[in-house]
Amino acid sequence: MQTSPKTQVIPKNKSRSTKPEWVKIVAQYQTPSAAKSWWQVATTVIPYLLLWYLMTLSLAVSYWLTLLLAIPAALFVVRIFVLQHDCGHGSFFKSQKINDRLGMLFSLFTFVPYHYWRRTHAIHHSATGDLEHRGVGDFFTMTVNEYLAASKWGRIKYRLYRNPVTMFFVAPLFVFIIGYRFDFLRRKNWKKERQGLLWTNLALLALALGLMLLVGWREYLLIQLPITYIATGLGAWFFFVQHNFEDAYWDEKPTWDYTVAALHGSSYYKLPKVLQWFTGSIGFHHIHHLSPKIPNYLLEKCHTENPLFQEPPTLTLASSFSTLNLSLWDEEGQKLITFGQLNKMREAGLAPA
């Protein structure tokens, strides 16, 4: 799409020539406001704590009421995670010390070890859409050729992994409650991250034991488990749709390009305003990947004020469900496809039987 220089949209195959322009633009939005950030902390953490307290009271009324309250509580946990996420990028406050301390505090609500996740997430940002660096901080995606070359058991395992029930209803709770308690990457030079992991585990244990003594171990589990189950499932879903859509971008170096990966490999998830608030505007994911230093409350402003960024892959709440079964990267067609589409390709002789 060719327009005037002021309204030029970065095309999927041309980014290097426009890179200086977007670098200058995003720099205008990279300064956080301490007042806005602290306001977000107050209006997120306080309501969550209040809901947690109300859930303890609701147990004496009806557990159905407790489960009902778990839904907004889980949405606040999602928002806390977005704030933790901003801290990890150093975009929430100018002071990295404040970012780190708040990030570690938020980890007690999200169950995500701050320093360890920050390091893995940095890998995700540096390699989004890079076929040579998949599987760290993202949903692993096989190419069609890799899938066809896999053993029967390998295909079965991958299909189970990419099943929506596994990705959104089973795996998230396991990953956040159990998986994040361990150094699963075993990087020898990640000393700070491993120490942070240990301290987070100890702090979570102390917090859980303290709350169990305060409200009872059974009551604690009846409250915390549904909150965490809903929050982790929602978090997995939002992350999935932001990178898994039919016309997503995948490539290999030396042709892989950071700018194209950000603007065409990350979606703009156009959500209703209430969900946009609970998700900290992370639906403007193309802007976030282009410049992780922009605080969440300036992402929409950057998007709306600059036509250069206004034609990313766009998903609505309704259309996003069409991405559920997209599981394989078709290198020939340059798009994500379903297992069903692969079967049709094989029947038509367009892929090995």
| Helix then strand then coil, % of the chain, to nearest 5 | 65, 5, 30
Residue 175: both structure tokens together: 């990953």
Q: What angle (nearest 5°) sits at the alpha carbon of residue 112, between those of residues 317 and 231?
A: 35
Over residues 86-93, mean pLDDT: 98
Phi, psi values for residue 30, rounded to 5° = -95, 5
Instruction: Return the minimum-mean-pLDDT range out of 135-139, 176-180, 209-213.
Output: 135-139
d(CA 236, CA 74): 13
pLDDT for position 11? 54
**Is residue 10 within 8 Å of 2, Cβ to Cβ?**
no
Instruction: Return the minimum-mean-pLDDT range out of 62-66, 125-129, 293-297.
Output: 125-129
Query: Is 12 exposed, middle or buried (CB count within 10 Å of its CB: 0-12, 13-18, 19+)?
Result: middle
d(CA 288, CA 78): 17
Query: Is 36 exposed, middle or buried (CB count within 10 Å of its CB: 0-12, 13-18, 19+)?
Result: middle
pLDDT for position 8? 41
End-to-end CA distance of the chain: 38
Of 261, 273, 270, give the one whose Cα is nearest residue 238: 270
Confidence tier at 229 by pLDDT (50, 70, 90): very high
Comparison of pLDDT for 26 and 188, the residue scoring more: 26
pLDDT for position 13? 52
Amino acid making up residue 334: Q
d(CA 237, CA 74): 13
**Is residue 286 within 8 Å of 268, Cβ to Cβ?**
yes
Distance of CA 18 to the CA centre of its chain: 27
Q: Kindly report the pTM of this predicted structure.
A: 0.92
